[in-house]
Structure 1
Amino acid sequence: MPRVLLTGGSGFIAAHVLDTLLERGFDTVVTVRSEEKGQRILEAHPNTPKEKLSYVVVKDVAQEGAFDEAVKSSPPFDYVLHTASPFHHNVQDPVKDFLDPAVKGTTGILKAIKAYAPTVKRVVITSSFAAIVNPKEHAAVYSEKHWNPVTWEEGMESSQTYRASKSAWEFVEKEKPNFDIATVNPPLVLGPVVHYLNSLDAINTSNNRVSDMVRGKCKEGLPPTGTFLWVDVRDIALAHVRAIEVPEAGGQRFFVVAGEFSNKEIADIVRDSFPELADKLPSKDFPSDKPADLYGHDNSKSIRMLGLQYRSLKESIVDTVKSLLAVGV
């Protein structure tokens, strides 16, 4: 079977990508920041033989040459899925916490593959709606054709994934390596947490809003929704794997989006599906902040080329809440 290197193996999206890879028979090596995280992944897959799943430690993806040893493998790698890019709100230093890991990590792994992994045919990179959206002047309907026009200086706080994906396309154009690339561009990512990787303090940024509702932190009212587009993490995971399975996916960006939502809709689903949590939520009459003239989205390319069938918001939220309750929220 083809052999895949999956970076950022202890991340929210990567955990689901890993499960999808294993389900579809790929031999997988994950990069993790510590031996402890690697061991936790192996322990969570006790019936998976070591030739199907192993890990390699990459302590700091922003370091020069961080991935040089990781990409060397016997048997050699056929594909790389690069999900190791940070997205959270506890930013002390935008360059150190965001831009260096995202941009240097992405260009670093591409350089390492070109130098040390000549058998790699394709690299799939986790990008973001941030690489598409223009918050100053919204498109009527967003698709893969759109690029965020933000400059490096303006992007110091929010567009690290835009910078990383832009750097990746520039690398391929300039260096003409032995592989092609594809990017997967999700908006807000919801969906179940993987029990072996997530503590209550390490829930991904998108799921924090669901966790806060379940914990009763939104009883007096809901926070602003922010991005009104969403996707389930399991659909994102499948998109990454389909992007290496489908030959024509090379050289493509994929806007992977299930639809529109608001925090009010999430609260209503939680209330209806988990009546025992109703007293932790604001009243049914709490208004929605979703604008009537919200920009549209076009996900037809991901459906046509990758064969995605998107989960509903209700399924995603119900499964998310179940997973949060299971880890002790």
Structure 2
Amino acid sequence: MSSQEVVFISGATGFIAQHIIKLLIEAGYKTIGSVRSEEKGEDLKSLLKSGGLKSELFSYVVVKDIGAKGAFDEALKTHPNITVFLHAASPVTFEVADIEKDLLNPAVEGTINALNAIKEYGKNVKRVVVTSSYAAVAGFADLATPGKEVNEDSWNPITREQALTNPFLGYIGSKKLAEKALWKYVEDNKPQWEITVVNPVFVFGPQAFEVKDKSKLNASNEVINSILTAGKKKEEPQQYASYFIDVRDVAKAHVLAFEKKEAAGQRLIVSEGPFTSGEIYDIIVEDFPKLKSEIPRLDKSKGPKFEDSESIVNNEKTRKILGFKFIDLRKSVDDTVAQLQ
């Protein structure tokens, strides 16, 4: 199958995307990634090469702004042989001046632009996979439903008006609005391709390649990193209680999402299980005893209680479709910390 398929992936230098590309190349897929500059494209190519991967299977196209109208038109016109389109470009940011202009509109428009380009120019595209978020599935903050079950059919009840309240809710709202727009697009346009949406929770785990700049980790891994750097920064890390998944499992889910027939038309909630910052702290001091003296003791009594804020995730349907066992919290934390050390 892989020799015939040509896979396009947007946001190729992203945390999740690099792991996806690694898996694609290992499986022999010809892969084309969108990057923001030629420099980033060349850098990724050299990372693949130094990682012992067949870098000749990877090429890139420069797309400076994935949210711009027609952003992917040229890429699809130039590569009419693309058969799978993975839209994995999904930035996480809470630092915005205008929630509507900087978060809500770009999220919706970026998704619709990609779908329009595929419909118009992706003549050979058969499968589309889009990275969404657990934020589109469950309610948060005042909309949280502690103890209530959520599954692949659930939606965060947030409205556009509520999303405009603050940047955090703006981010949460942008994920729901973009995904709702996507499913409506599919319903209205009935394209030739089939779509799958991947909804990850907090994504932990090591970077796909060696980390040169440890100051710029993905937002989820900062939950782990903030505990490691608390001593040096002389500040108490913010504590969390939520759900986690390892990045390597998220990448695997994206590949299986287009390879498996039963994944077509589905939402996949990729979550291994609950975590608290206290549990992460315990794993670090138990498995990395040398770090114990560098890390200030975490006052777990100050941390949020899982049962006070979190819905109960039932992702049995996703697990059945994917058919593999997810990496547990200990391995995910250990591998992340080992790389950062």
Q: State the Cα distance separating 1:194 from its structure 2 match.
A: 3.5
Is 1:210 matched up with 2:224? yes
What residue in structure 1 maps to residue 167 of structure 2?
none
Moved more, 118-127 or 196-205: 196-205
Is 1:77 matched up with 2:82? yes
> CA distance change for structure 1 residues 98 and 295 in 2, over 3 Å: closer, same or farther?
same
Let me know the Cα RMSD of the aligned residues.
2.0
Moved more, 200-209 or 312-321: 200-209
- Tell me the SS of whatever aligns to 2:215: helix
In structure 2, which of residues 322, 330, 337 is the aligned counterpart of residue 306 of structure 1?
Answer: 322
TM-score (norm 2): 0.89
In structure 1, which of residues 147, 151, 160 is the aligned counterpart of residue 159 of structure 2?
Answer: 151
> CA distance change for structure 1 residues 268 and 219 in 2, over 3 Å: closer, same or farther?
farther
Deviations 1:69-114 (A, max 9, x none): 1123446111111011211233333234323332111110100010
Moved more, 182-191 or 207-216: 207-216
- Give the whole-Å Cα distance in 2 for the aligned partners of 1:186 and 1:68: 28
In structure 2, which of residues 202, 221, 235 is the aligned counterpart of residue 188 of structure 1?
Answer: 202
Q: Which residue identity lines up with residue 291 of structure 1 in the other structure?
A: F
- Tell me the SS of whatever aligns to 1:183: strand
What residue in structure 2 maps to residue 274 of structure 1?
288
Deviations 1:280-310 (A, max 9, x none): 3343663353334653211212221111311
- Give the whole-Å Cα distance in 1 for the aligned partners of 2:238 and 2:298: 15
Is 1:169 matched up with 2:183? yes
What residue in structure 1 maps to residue 256 of structure 2?
242
Any gaps of 5 or more consecutive residues in structure 1?
Answer: none
- Tell me the SS of whatever aligns to 2:293: helix
- Tell me the SS of whatever aligns to 2:70: coil
TM-score (norm 1): 0.92
> CA distance change for structure 1 residues 255 and 66 in 2, over 3 Å: closer, same or farther?
same
Report if aligned partners of 2:93, 2:171 keep a CA contact under 8 Å in 1.
Answer: no
> CA distance change for structure 1 residues 146 and 57 in 2, over 3 Å: closer, same or farther?
same
What residue in structure 2 maps to residue 15 of structure 1?
18
What residue in structure 2 maps to residue 100 of structure 1?
105
Q: State the Cα distance separating 1:252 from its structure 2 match.
A: 0.4
> CA distance change for structure 1 residues 196 and 6 in 2, over 3 Å: closer, same or farther?
farther
> CA distance change for structure 1 residues 247 and 282 in 2, over 3 Å: closer, same or farther?
same
Any gaps of 5 or more consecutive residues in structure 2?
Answer: 165-169
- Tell me the SS of whatever aligns to 1:260: strand
What pairs up with 1:221-240 in 2 under 5 angstroms? Answer: 221-225=236-240, 228-240=242-254
Q: State the Cα distance separating 1:172 from its structure 2 match.
A: 0.6
Deviations 1:138-168 (A, max 9, x none): 1622211101121123224222221111111
> CA distance change for structure 1 residues 141 and 282 in 2, over 3 Å: closer, same or farther?
farther
Report if aligned partners of 1:194, 1:323 keep a CA contact under 8 Å in 2.
Answer: no
- Give the whole-Å Cα distance in 2 for the aligned partners of 1:68 and 1:247: 27
